[in-house]
Structure formats: structure tokens, C-alpha cells
Amino acid sequence: MIDNFNELISNAKTVGISGHVRPDGDCVGSCLAMYNYIATYFPQVEVHVYLEPIPNIFKFLTNSDKIEDATTVVDGTVFDLYIALDCSEGSRLGEAERLFEAAKTTLCIDHHFSNSGFADYSYIIPDDSSTCELIYNQFGKERITKEIAECLYLGIIHDTGVFQYSCTTEATMAAAGYLMAKGIDYPKICTDTYFAKTMIQNRMLGKALLNCKTFLDGKIIAAVITAEDMAEFGAQSKHLEGIVQQLRDTTGVEVAVFLYELEDGDFKGSTRATGDVDLTVITGEFGGGGHKKAAGFSVNTNDPWSIINRIIEMVSAQFKELGID
């Protein structure tokens, strides 16, 4: 934990908060938890939260309407303190990176394995369940309000797949249990923000499952969605969430790979592992990163299956080392 955390905030007149680009549940939950904490306990501090547009399903969180666009901040603005959350490196802050770089003091709370500690003050536990669990520890339970609890619970369930991933620990469950006792509507948060699927999402999932291929006796599964596929159903990248998890959940699968095209040959790759294969080694080959069992990358190609073939070779090599045949 950051020992002088509260002191850093109270010594600042202005505080900025940001998370990573294309914000997910843990990113939005941690940023709004931090905003609400500062607004509640440090009303004298001017606090701003900058994020890329967030999914509508997260907009029930208190003060989500206070989220601002970093591009609107004039050059030369210097925050006394800038807090980066759920973000493994400065460049992942997107447009907010320049605000972070210009700030007098910087702070980072994160759980990404690849985080090298790029802020002045860091609280980084690699492969902890979520940034929201770290924030729960950092705030201390007695200072968690119902509004903050909603934000933290949301982040924890999104990064643990509602407590199913191996990053879920006894401490994660204890934290979640405490948050539930704050009177939050946790069944609704799980259903509305995690399990609910739109018709477009279901159709894209169907498309990916119909067209997926398996390799190495079904230990590897891969699917590709092209820009053309997306246009057919009017889908955007946000409609493809959850596909790689569904592929991974196929019986016998050790590694799932999902590639989708953003535009003109720019593909985003997501990978998931069920066993001991280290995916950061594989995504690192393409300049990506993430966690051992969940990692991603971006690549430009006109032949996405050739990328999948390279991944299969790398996974095979790891299988050999691990004695998996």
C-alpha cells in the first residue's frame, strides 16, 4: 500500500484520475471509486476524472456523469497529483498521458504483471484479482461508502469473471462480502453489467463459434472476426467481449485465441489459458502484454490465420516444456 496516500491527496489542490484506453469494468470502477473517495473525504480538493467514453452499462455508478474527455484539457495544465489506475504503462492512458506526465506528483495503483512502476508512488500487486481489490485495501474498509462499494464490486466481478478465475482469492471474497453488506444491489450489478448480452453480441458470438477452428487435438481453439463480419451485423468491437472466454470454456481447451479486425488489417488479439501456458510470452512477441492467463496484442496483417499459426507454434513449444502432449 502507499503509506502516505491520504496525505498525498490532502496536500494537493488539484487531482486528476485516469485509467487505461477502452475502459473496462475494473478501469471504470477503480476510477470512479477514487473520484468518489476524494469527493467525499477531501471536499476541498478539485478532482477530475478523464476516461475514454464508457459503456452505458456502467453509467449507474455515482458520478459517472462527471467523467471528462482528456482532449478538452488545455496544454500547460499541471495537476498537483495525477492518479493512474488499472494501467500498466503511461502510454495506456491515451490522451491523458500528457496530463500524467505534466503532473507534479504521480501515483499508480495496478495489478498488471508488466507494470514497471512508472509513477512516483506505486501500489502494484501483479496478478492480484483487480485494481478495485487493491483500492479496497488502500482506502481501508471503514471509509468505504455504499457509492464506493458499487464501484469496487463492479471492478472485482469484471476482472474475476464473477469470482470464477484463479486470481480470485480468499481476500477477494472477503472484500466482496464486505462490499455486499454495504447494501448494494449485487445481483443486478452482475446481471446488468456482466451477464446480459445484446442481440448483436449473441449473433457475433454465434458467428465466432461457428467459424472457430481447433488445433493440437483440441487443446488450442481460434476464431477470427473480420471487419466484413462486423459490418454484416452492424457490430462494433464492444460487441465482441466475452467471445474469447466462451472459446476457452470449450472442453479440452488449454489456449483460446480470438482475433478481430478493427479496420484495414489492424487486428486486435485476445488470448486466454486454462492451464500453465504463460500468455505474456506469446503476446509479448507482438508487442502486447497482460496477465499469464489473459493477455492481448494488436497486429497489422492481411492474413490473420498466419498470426494464429505463429501462436500455435509458440504454444506447442510451451507445451513441450510443460510436458503437455
Binding site for Mn ion (CB under 5 A): 26, 86, 131, 159
Nearest approach, Cβ of residue 301 and Mn ion (Å): 27
Torsion, Cα of 299, 302, 303, 306 (10° steps): -40
Cβ atoms of 155 and 30 within 8 Å: the answer is: yes
Instruction: Give CA 93 to chain center in angstroms.
Output: 12
Question: Under 8 Å CB-to-CB from 49, ≥6 apart: which residues?
Answer: 16, 17, 18, 31, 32, 34, 35, 63, 66, 67, 68
Name which of 25 and 304 has its Cβ closer to Mn ion: 25
* Nearest residue (CB) to Mn ion, 52 versus 86: 86
Contact 95, 71 (CB under 8 A): yes
Q: Specify the residue, 62 or 131, whose C-beta has the smaller distance to Mn ion.
A: 131
Question: Which C-beta is closer to Mn ion: that of 128 or that of 254?
Answer: 128
Cα(12)–Cα(178) distance, integer angstroms: 30
Minimum gap (Å) between residue 103 Cβ and Mn ion? 22
> Which residue has its beta carbon closest to Mn ion?
26
Report, in Å, the least distance between residue 157 CB and Mn ion: 12
Least distance from C-beta 75 to Mn ion, angstroms?
30
- Is the Cβ of residue 160 or residue 318 nearer to Mn ion in the bound state? 160
Going by the DSSP 8-state scheme, the letter that residue 323 receives in this structure is: T
Asked if 279 and 294 touch (Cβ cutoff 8 Å), the reply is: yes
Q: How far is the CB of 112 from Mn ion (least distance, A)?
A: 7
